[in-house]
Structure 1
Amino acid sequence: MIVFAASDKGGTGRSVTSANLAYQRALAGDDVCYLDFDFGSPTAVAVFDVPAAPRGDGLHAYLEGHIGEPLRLDIWRLTEHAVLRDKPNGAGRLVLFPGDGSGGEFATDQDVIQRCTDLLLRLNSEFDLIIVDLSAGRSYAVDMALEVTARPEMRGVETRWLVFHRWTRQHVIAVSGLVFKEFGILEAGADRGHDKAVLRDAIRFVRAAVPDPESPLWSHVSPAQSAWMHACDETLRRLAAEQGIGDSRVLGTVPLEPVLQWREQLITDADVLSTQIANKETLEAFTELARRLTDDTYWGQL
């Protein structure tokens, strides 16, 4: 299965959440690879704490035809994260395909599309799960993903889309536009040969960095502030439903996590149980989201 991660804007938590989903699936025993297609800002090496950034041998160089195979990094072996270096028994492979730090967004042609198709087909036969982190907005990376997955060679490959957004009025409206409005994912997909209804069913939304008014984080706010937060949350729920991204289309919600506001990183059991720097609700959200990626009941298929 290939899961594409998209977002309306930068700063939605798309990359760090996607990386945590890859980590959780690998912990559960899946062989997982993570492709950094955030071409304008390929920083996945930092999230996985891998020091070896590519130098002309990353995904940019491969897609542009400069090399025959892109660099792959074994996270369990190469990470500087103390917890990750001790690979748990029963864990699957966790491999990162980084982008080139000196690269950027680039227009695609048929040669690029073919190289991307070939890569995804090879990886689909090698790994249980492929997570592709796409550049934000209506980007070349999103267009390439839509064009590649519409090709005849890809018809037997199951693909799903996660679209991330922050829990604010601006982001709710923007992410709805990214998917449903003119030049959005559905329209662009249909233009490339996708069945719009099938593509719509393959898309779910993830609400990231969502403040919970009942959380201990907000236990010291005034009654007026608490009432205002609850009112805002209810208003956003109504707006999301009106924009077509109500609860029935949401795969999961990631709570506001102080650790991730300061540092984009993987959240481990040690962060919750030993050092206690992260909240257990955040780890539980990542674990449940990772499980739901392949649970058909959350994708309207059962």
Structure 2
Amino acid sequence: MLVFATSDKGGTGRSVTSCNMAYQRALQGSDVCYVDFDFGSPTAGAVFQVTDVERGTSDGGLHSYLQGRITEPDRVDIWSTTDRQNLVDDFASPGKFVLYPGDKSGGEFAASPEAVRRCTELFVRLEEEFEISLIDLSAGRSHAIDMALEATAQAGLRKTTARWMVFHRWTRQHIIAAHGLVFGDHGILRTGVAYGHKEDDLRDAVRFVRTATLDLDSPNLNLRDPQIAWLETCDQGLRAEAARKSLGSSTLLGHTPLDPVLQWREQLISKDDVFKKIANEETLAAFEDLARKLTEDRAWEGL
């Protein structure tokens, strides 16, 4: 299964949430790879705390592969190279966990026919080896999105399950932006149709993820009554706005709570972090739930 992660705006928490979802699925026993198609800023290695590729690889990454300079892109086994301790419980039996990094100092580039062909071949190989391939795409209407849409429309991938997660913060500006990324004139749906996708199938493959949301009932917020009342009014307005723009509960894959750890450092949240009371239990539970839903068909049933 191919799972694409995208967002219209930066700062949504797309990459750190996607990294944590991939991590949780690997812990749950699935063979998982994380493919860093954030061509302008390939820093997934920093979230996984793999020092050698924290800003991309010097050994021929995805940029070099897609542009035809090498025959195989570099790949990194996260379990054996991460600097993080206690990522896996003693009694766990995790699946494979592999990172495909971009090139160090790589940048955005247009999708040439040769790049699309190579991208398609890569996705086919990943589909054969991994249960889940999570592809993190550059924010906005990027060349990475175009390449992914064109590649998944090719004959070799038409029968492959491909799902799209669109991340956004719980604000009016982010709701408007996420709607435009999917439903706008140059959004995912219309661009996908131009490449040969069926609009209804592509629409059913899109779900939204709300990030850094506030739980107004949490005793940890320490808010004054007028603040709570104001936030509740805002929340009601945001729910109405999301429903009008097709970002309501029927298209919602899930949400992640605001966690102080992730505001200061984008990292994997482990059970050890929760045990030490560094991270909140609700954050870990949200990542675990989102990870499970990647392959739960009922979470992706047609609307």
With normalisation by structure 1, the TM-score equals 0.97
Q: How does 1:198-209 map to 2 (within 5 A)?
A: 198-209=201-212
Structure 2 counterpart of 1:247, which letter?
Answer: S
Contact 2:50 2:81 in 1 (8 A): yes
Contact 2:261 2:278 in 1 (8 A): yes
Q: 1:84 to 1:155 in 2, by over 3 A?
A: same
1:214 is displaced (CA, Å) by 1.3
Q: 1:6 to 1:178 in 2, by over 3 A?
A: same
Q: Residues of 1 paired with 2:89 and 2:246: CA distance? A: 43
Q: Residues of 1 paired with 2:263 and 2:104: CA distance? A: 23
Q: Which one of the candidate residues 230, 238, 241 is aligned to 1:239? A: 241
Structure 2 counterpart of 1:222, which letter?
Answer: R
Contact 1:7 1:136 in 2 (8 A): yes
Q: How does 1:59-138 map to 2 (within 5 A)?
A: 59-84=62-87, 89-138=92-141
1:89 is displaced (CA, Å) by 3.4
Contact 2:59 2:74 in 1 (8 A): no
Q: Which moved more, 1:223-232 or 1:88-97?
A: 88-97
Q: 1:49 to 1:198 in 2, by over 3 A?
A: same
Structure 2 counterpart of 1:228, which letter?
Answer: W
Q: Residues of 2 paired with 1:47 and 1:160: CA distance? A: 23
For residues 1-29 of structure 1, what are the alpha-carbon distances to aligned partners after superposition, in whole Å with 9 as ceiling and x for unaligned? 00000101111010000000100000010
Contact 1:79 1:85 in 2 (8 A): no
Alignment partner of 1:42: what SS? Answer: coil
1:156 is displaced (CA, Å) by 1.8
1:223 correspondence with 2:220: no
Alignment partner of 2:65: what SS? Answer: helix
Matched residue, 1:291: 292
Contact 2:87 2:272 in 1 (8 A): no
Matched residue, 2:283: 282
1:42 correspondence with 2:42: yes
Alignment partner of 2:254: what SS? Answer: strand
Q: 1:67 to 1:262 in 2, by over 3 A?
A: same
Matched residue, 2:31: 31
1:84 is displaced (CA, Å) by 2.9
Q: Residues of 1 paired with 2:145 and 2:250: CA distance? A: 24
Alignment partner of 2:51: what SS? Answer: coil
Contact 1:165 1:206 in 2 (8 A): yes
Query: Identity rate of aligned residues, in percent?
Result: 57
Matched residue, 2:148: 145
Contact 2:27 2:88 in 1 (8 A): no
Alignment partner of 1:289: what SS? Answer: helix
Q: Residues of 2 paired with 1:290 and 1:301: CA distance? A: 20
Structure 2 counterpart of 1:70, which letter?
Answer: P
Structure 1 counterpart of 2:18, which letter?
Answer: S
Q: Residues of 1 paired with 2:302 and 2:171: CA distance? A: 30
1:257 is displaced (CA, Å) by 0.8
Matched residue, 2:186: 183
Structure 2 counterpart of 1:154, which letter?
Answer: L
1:16 correspondence with 2:16: yes
Matched residue, 2:259: 257
Structure 2: gaps (5+ residues): none
Alignment partner of 2:52: what SS? Answer: coil
Matched residue, 1:212: 215
Alignment partner of 1:217: what SS? Answer: coil
Over the aligned positions, Cα root-mean-square deviation in angstroms equals: 1.3
Q: Residues of 2 paired with 1:114 and 1:203: CA distance? A: 24
1:101 is displaced (CA, Å) by 2.2
Alignment partner of 1:133: what SS? Answer: strand
Structure 1: gaps (5+ residues): none
Q: Which moved more, 1:51-60 or 1:231-240?
A: 51-60
Structure 1 counterpart of 2:234, which letter?
Answer: C
